[in-house]
Amino acid sequence: MRRIVACLLAFLVVGGCGERQPVRIGFLGGLSGSVADLGESGRNGAQIAVEEINRSGGVNGRQVELIVRDDAQSPERAIAATNELIALHVEGIIGPMTSAMAEVALPIAQQAGVVLVSPTVTARKFFGLEDNLFLLMSSTREEARLSAEFHFNENGARRVAAIQDLKNRAYTESWLREFTVAFQGLGGEVFPVAYESGSEVNFGSVVRAALSKQPDAVLMIASAADAARFAQKIRERNRQILLFGSQWAATERLVELGGQFVEGMVLHNYFDRDSKAPELVRLRQIYTQRFLREPGFAGIAAYDATRIFLTALARRQHGEPLQETLVIRGPFPGAEGEISFDRFGDNRRLSHVTVVRDGQFVTLR
């Protein structure tokens, strides 16, 4: 009889604990190497969203646990990290943070039936597909064409040398291709200069190759750290040439590392840095006080992605696939406004044009 009672008590305890197990979600991003600023901002934004949900009671009464993995911008690490998160039975993954890592993580998540909500993946190849990947930003097509039109019409650029990082080829090739089509269609010329990021990059050699094309503008489709180094080398040779870049470089690290050399550089941004939207202002204040820097587009987007994912979990009906919930049970709350997905899991939110002015990102459009 005692053994029976002990077994019943053990069953009740284990069962009760099982009901109170936390909701596990993963975060996948580059937390080391040249893209660490993107991954760190994303992780921090996701962490704030999880903590806020937990303070408000969690998801249907269950607390949320954020499990973080570093992909190091390495396909091998991304594959291992994705498999680790799936083995831990996460409900879904916030990330990856780059298109190159999405290439290797998505097939694994797709096979396991795990949803990815990426704050920052924008390569054109991921749009218009019925898969497990949900995207917060517009594709490289929208951003690159906006850039081409802006610099041709507003800044008078006609000859552009485009520095492209092949380490994130899925993103940079897509961005460059869309920019080239649009810019050439307007009557301009584009001269690609490829390199592969890493500790052995000869920035001076890449810049000499770009300036040998005699451009009136230099486009950098590169990380913030690399763009800052390129800007310095370019400004040492030409103080007047127009510098601009893709959204990838538009993090606080660009200004920290680039200083005076990135003044006047034009980029794109997920959110309006001059917006007075109450939720956005509140989030920026919380993030800045805690991490002693601005969240940047990656921090804001990851906060939105995490909040959307957890809201979808709370709204999901019994037996409903989470992919369906994300499509049909929006709009979802975002820091700057509501966010919805189409049937392909795309959001197509247009980016803003910004310029570095007095060490700050200022919205132009």
One domain, residues 41 and 88? yes
Which whole-number Å values give the CA distances from 9 to 2, 17, 22, 255, in the listed order? Answer: 10, 12, 22, 60
Instruction: Look at residues 223, 248, 269 and tell me which one is the last residue of a structural domain.
Output: 269
pLDDT, average across residues 21-32: 97
Residue 356 lies in a domain: no
Which whole-number Å values give the CA distances from 67 to 46, 77, 83, 88, 310, in the listed order? Answer: 10, 16, 13, 9, 14
One domain, residues 238 and 157? yes
User: pTM of the predicted model, to two decimals?
Assistant: 0.90
* pLDDT computed for residue 8 by the predictor: 41
One domain, residues 252 and 308? no
* pLDDT tens digit sequence for 245-303: 999 999 999 999 999 999 999 999 999 989 999 999 999 999 999 999 999 999 999 99
Range of the domain at 186: 140-269
pLDDT, average across residues 125-131: 96
User: For residue 169, what are its two tokens?
Assistant: 């080829």
How do the residues of the chain divide into helix, strand and coil, expressed in percent and rounded to 5?
50, 20, 30
User: What is the percent of the chain where pLDDT is above 90?
Assistant: 92
pLDDT, average across residues 42-68: 97
Tell me: cis bond preceding 215? Omega within 30 of 0 counts. Answer: no
Instruction: Look at residues 269, 299, 331 and tell me which one is the last residue of a structural domain.
Output: 269
- Give the Cα separation of 112 and 46 in Å (integer): 23
Instruction: Look at residues 233, 250, 269 and tell me which one is the last residue of a structural domain.
Output: 269
Q: Number of folded domains in the chain?
A: 2
One domain, residues 48 and 123? yes
pLDDT bin (cut points 50, 70, 90) of residue 19 is low
One domain, residues 182 and 82? no
Which whole-number Å values give the CA distances from 245 to 129, 164, 265, 318, 350, in the listed order? Answer: 27, 10, 8, 45, 16
* pLDDT tens digit sequence for 322-342: 999 999 999 999 999 999 999
One domain, residues 46 and 152? no
Amino acid identity, residue 335?
A: A
CATH no. for residue 168? 3.40.50.2300
Judged against a pLDDT cut of 50, whether residue 308 lies above it is answered with yes
One domain, residues 8 and 56? yes
Residue 355 lies in a domain: no
